[in-house]
Amino acid sequence: MTDAHVTNARASEIYRNALDVIAGIEPRIADATRQELDDQRASLKLIASENYASLPVLMTMGTWMSDKYAEGTVGHRFYAGCQNVDTVEQVAAEHARELFGAPYAYVQPHSGIDANLVAYWAILAQRIEGPGLEKLGAKNVNELTEADWETLRAELGNQRLLGMSLDAGGHLTHGFRPNISGKMFYQRQYGTDPASGLLDYDQVAAAAREFKPLIMVAGYSAYPRRVNFAKMREIADEVGATLMVDMAHFAGLVAGKVFTGDENPVPFAHVTTTTTHKSLRGPRGGVVLAQEEFASSVDRGCPMVLGGPLSHVMAAKAVALAEARQPAFGAYAQQVADNAKAFADGLMRRGAKLVTDGTDNHLVLLDVSSFGLTGRQAESALLDAGVVTNRNSVPADPNGAWYTSGIRFGTPALTSRGFTADNFDVVADLVVNVLKNTEPGTTKAGAPSKASYSLAEGIADRTKSAAAEMLDAHPLYPGLEL
Write the DSSP string, 209-263.
Answer: HHH--SEEEEE-SS--S---HHHHHHHHHHHTPEEEEE-TTTHHHHHTTSS-GGG
Annotated catalytic residue within 114, 148, 167, 246: 246
| Cis? peptide before 194, omega within 30° of 0 | no
Annotated catalytic residue within 275, 411, 415, 463: 275
- The closest of 306, 331, 185, 366 to 256, measured between CA atoms, is 331
- The closest of 102, 120, 123 to 112, measured between CA atoms, is 120
* 71 catalytic residue (yes or no): yes
Contacts of 444 (CB under 8 A, 6+ apart): none
* 376 catalytic residue (yes or no): no
Q: How far is the C-alpha of 324 from the C-alpha of 326, rounded, in Å?
A: 5
Annotated catalytic residue within 34, 41, 71, 188: 71
Q: Alpha carbon 224 to chain centroid distance?
A: 14
Could you give the maximum distance between any two Cα atoms of the chain, in Å? 75
Q: How far is the C-alpha of 22 from the C-alpha of 69, rounded, in Å?
A: 24
Q: How far is the C-alpha of 451 from the C-alpha of 474, rounded, in Å?
A: 33
* 69 catalytic residue (yes or no): yes
* 234 catalytic residue (yes or no): no
3-state SS class at 459: helix
Phi-psi region of 212 (alpha: psi -120 to 50; beta: other; left: phi over 0): left
Annotated catalytic residue within 278, 281, 341, 391: 278
Annotated catalytic residue within 41, 127, 284, 350: 284
**Cβ(422)–Cβ(343) below 8 Å:** no
Q: Interior CA angle at 276 toward 299 and 258, to 5°?
A: 110
Instruction: Give the residue numbers annotated as catalytic, written as ranges.
Output: 69, 71, 246, 275, 278, 284
